[in-house]
Amino acid sequence: MFIALKRSSMSPVIYEALDYGIGITDAQGRLIAQGNGIPAFIGTLDGAVQSIINKHGLEAIHPDDIFIQNSPYEGGGTHLSDVCMLKPVFYHQQLVAWTACKAHWTEIGGKDAGSVSADTTEIFQEGLFFPGIKIFERKQPNQALIDLIRANVRLPDMTLGDMWSSIAALQVGERRFIELLNKYSLDVVLAAIETMLDHAEAMVVKKLKQLPKGTFKAEDIIDSDGIGNGPFRIAVTVTISDDYVTMDYTGTDAQVPGPINMSYGGLISAAREVFMGIVDPGVPANDGCFRRIQLICPPHTLCSATHPAAVSSYYDVMVYAADVVRKALANALPGKLLAGQYGAVCTVIIAGHHTKNQHDTPFILVQPLAGGWGGGADKDGESGQFCLGNGETRNIPVEVTESCYDVLVQQYALHYPGQGIGAGQQRGGRGIVLDYLALSDISASILFSREETPPWPIQGAHSGSCNYACVINQKGEQEHFTRKQVHIKKGETIRMVTGSGAGWGMPNKRPHDLIKSDIKNEWITREEAHNIYHYPLQ
């Protein structure tokens, strides 16, 4: 399923960023197995199945129905771009399972190309909303709905291509599951599923016993909602007992006017992601693992936004929600958790028209950017890596970018922030700098978070740095910004810089042979080595 979707997709955000997840649930919507490009969808598929069952009732669900749903406010939804498709699996007229997939479609309509906005204030500006409806009924496509989609999105071939890839994935999953039933019988398979879920839970409980027990608190600052409001507070109290990990987000600020709100579906994913990371049960994530999570968050907050809050840029709050738990636990779990990372998905959407083909066709490039991770108790931070929570997301190769979009990439390099940023016994990793020279007039939407509050250090190290972008024209580098849409004229360059991670431990404890190697590899200058690390100048 996972491979079928990736390899037949039309969207780079799917086939390179792997911004999708697929899975199988049982008839009631309990997650049996999930294949993920990114952890962000781990909380979404089972919820989607449950919401379809609740809405339609079992009697209205037939073989060869396919449902489409992207509501952010229910069923594990996130934002409208993440479209979930679901197919009930019937065996001898009995509903026995569901195959489901959720993928980030590049275009779902709405006010901005790419359907992810910096400045929307309500859901109605953000694109097509599918409230858990049938796009296929008993094998028959709902042509009216497909025509409606085609008429409401900017790149209909790409959008409908993504739909077909999703359907391919569902069909592959269904076929494999039925093969299993034919081979082993329904009873054996259902019993095996129960055993598998119970085994996962048992593994989790074993691992919980090894974790430090207690209550841990942390807060972080979300600097802005993109339309001038902020800063906002995100707070968590984590309690680890022998039986449960409890994450309580009480104390987090209320939902905001701008499009950064995250619904409860996103919070479930964040909680599951961070839980799987710290518990590390040694089994694939399934419903059995999640029985040991307790998640608490009052409604209408930044992490539990409700209708009609704007949510199209929700994903950075999801990163914050997971990171704040890791911040709370970092000192208690050295060797497992890190100092603060650049901490944002750093989405860039470039839109324009191809001038190089005979046809003047529109293009939209949606991509997240890699940045620097924080240092750990016994390792330096990773450089140029997609943010924690972005999983197997991969960058779009420069050569592909230049072949598909009207830009010339002038540099794709690790960024040197200087000033002792990220210094520590273990230093933070470097962010990247990416320069696009516009070969025709283009527009760029920059949607960067962590614009003012830098990544947090641990045990006396230095903070990391923030993300920003700027336009470079004849007059040189213009002012830095983090969230806006800019028009770039042919011949101008847009520069995107992601943050470096924070360090772990006092810089003066860093061994000299590592500092020497840092200087040789130009990670730091000799002056910086002297001023920050007290390394001899000579």
Partner 1 sequence: MLRVATDIGGTFTDVVYIRNNSIHQAKCDTVYPHFEQGVINALVKTNLTCSDIDFFAHGTTIVINTLTERTGAVTGLITTRGFRDVLEIARGDTPDIYNVYYQKPKPFVPRYLRCEITERVNHKGEIITPLAENEIEPIIDQFQAEGVTAIAICFLHSYANPEHERTAMALIKKKWPTVAVVTSYQVCREQREYERTNTAALSAYVLPQTDAYIEKLVSKLSKRGLRCTPYIMQSNGGITTAAHARTHPIALIESGPVGGILGAASYAKLIGVPDIIALDIGGTTAKCALIQDGHIPITTEYVIEKTPTSSGYPIKTPVIDLVEIGNGGGSIAWIDSAHALHVGPHSAGSNPGPVAYGRGGEKPTTTDANLYTGCINADNFVGGTVRPDRERIEQAFQSLGDQLGVSAMEAAQGVIQIANANMVNALKLVSVNRGYDPRDFVLIAFGGGGAMHATALASELSIPKVIIPPHAGVFSAWGMLMLDLRRDYILAMQAQLTPANLPVLAQHYQQLTHEARDDFKRDGFSDHQIRDERYIDARYIGQGHTVRIAVNTGEINDGWLTQSIATFHSEHEKAFTFRLDSIIEVVNIHLVSFGLVDKSECPEIARVTSAQATPFSERRVDFAQYGVYSTSIYKRTDLSPGMVINGPAIIEEETTTTAVLPHNQLELDRFGGLHISINSPDITN
Closest CB 299 distance from partner 1, rounded Å: 28
Pick 85 or 370: Cβ nearer partner 1: 370
3-state secondary structure of 103: strand
Our finding on whether 398 is near partner 1 (CB under 8 A) is yes
Closest CB 200 distance from partner 1, rounded Å: 8
511 class by beta-carbon count within 10 Å (0-12 exposed, 13-18 middle, 19+ buried): exposed
Q: For 123, how many CA atoms within 13 A lie in the half-sphere containing its CB?
A: 22
Amino acid letter, residue 389: G
Cβ distance 450 to 232 under 8 Å?
no
Options 66, 80, 89, 167; binder of partner 1; rule CB under 8 A: 167
Q: Using alpha carbons, select from 340, 309, 305 the residue that is nearest to residue 322.
A: 340
Give the x/- contact pattern for partner 1 in 68-107, rule: CB under 8 A.
----------------------------------------
Tell me how far apart the alpha carbons of residues 331 and 457 are, in angstroms, rounded to a whole number.
11
Instruction: Candidates 4-12, 43-51, 88-96, 112-120: pick the segment binding partner 1 (CB under 8 A).
Output: 4-12
Closest CB 273 distance from partner 1, rounded Å: 6
Closest CB 142 distance from partner 1, rounded Å: 18
Our finding on whether 337 is near partner 1 (CB under 8 A) is yes
Give the x/- contact pattern for partner 1 in 513-532, rule: CB under 8 A.
-------xxxx---------
Instruction: Candidates 85-93, 249-257, 295-303, 331-339: pick the segment binding partner 1 (CB under 8 A).
Output: 331-339
Tell me how far apart the alpha carbons of residues 132 and 478 are, in angstroms, rounded to a whole number.
45
Tell me how far apart the alpha carbons of residues 257 and 263 are, in angstroms, rounded to a whole number.
14
Our finding on whether 456 is near partner 1 (CB under 8 A) is no
Options 148, 188, 192, 254; binder of partner 1; rule CB under 8 A: 188
User: What is the SS3 assignment for 83-149?
Assistant: EEEEEEEEECCEEEEEEEEEEECCCCCCCCCCCCCCCCCCHHHCCCCCCCEEEEECCEECHHHHHHH
Amino acid letter, residue 20: Y
Our finding on whether 64 is near partner 1 (CB under 8 A) is no
Pick 211 or 305: Cβ nearer partner 1: 211
Distances (CA, A) of 62 to 24, 36, 185, 257: 17, 27, 21, 40
Tell me how far apart the alpha carbons of residues 451 and 224 are, in angstroms, rounded to a whole number.
8
Tell me how far apart the alpha carbons of residues 309 and 72 are, in angstroms, rounded to a whole number.
9
Closest CB 36 distance from partner 1, rounded Å: 6
Residues 462-521 that bind partner 1 (CB under 8 A): 520-521
Amino acid letter, residue 253: D
Q: Using alpha carbons, select from 259, 269, 265, 264 the residue that is nearest to residue 300.
A: 264
Options 23, 31, 32, 36; binder of partner 1; rule CB under 8 A: 36
Residue 350, both tokens:
């470039």
Residues 269-298 that bind partner 1 (CB under 8 A): 273, 276-277, 280, 282, 285
Pick 227 or 388: Cβ nearer partner 1: 388
Options 91, 129, 244, 412; binder of partner 1; rule CB under 8 A: 412
Our finding on whether 345 is near partner 1 (CB under 8 A) is no
Pick 233 or 353: Cβ nearer partner 1: 353
Our finding on whether 156 is near partner 1 (CB under 8 A) is no
Closest CB 284 distance from partner 1, rounded Å: 10
Options 172, 180, 190, 486; binder of partner 1; rule CB under 8 A: 172
Residues 297-326 that bind partner 1 (CB under 8 A): 326
Count residues binding partner 1 (CB under 8 A).
Answer: 81
Q: How many CB atoms lie within 10 A of CB 413?
A: 12
* Rounded to 5°, angle at Cα 480 from 474 and 484: 100
Cβ distance 308 to 262 under 8 Å?
no
Residue 358, both tokens:
């005979």
Tell me how far apart the alpha carbons of residues 296 and 56 are, in angstroms, rounded to a whole number.
28
Options 92, 183, 359, 475; binder of partner 1; rule CB under 8 A: 183
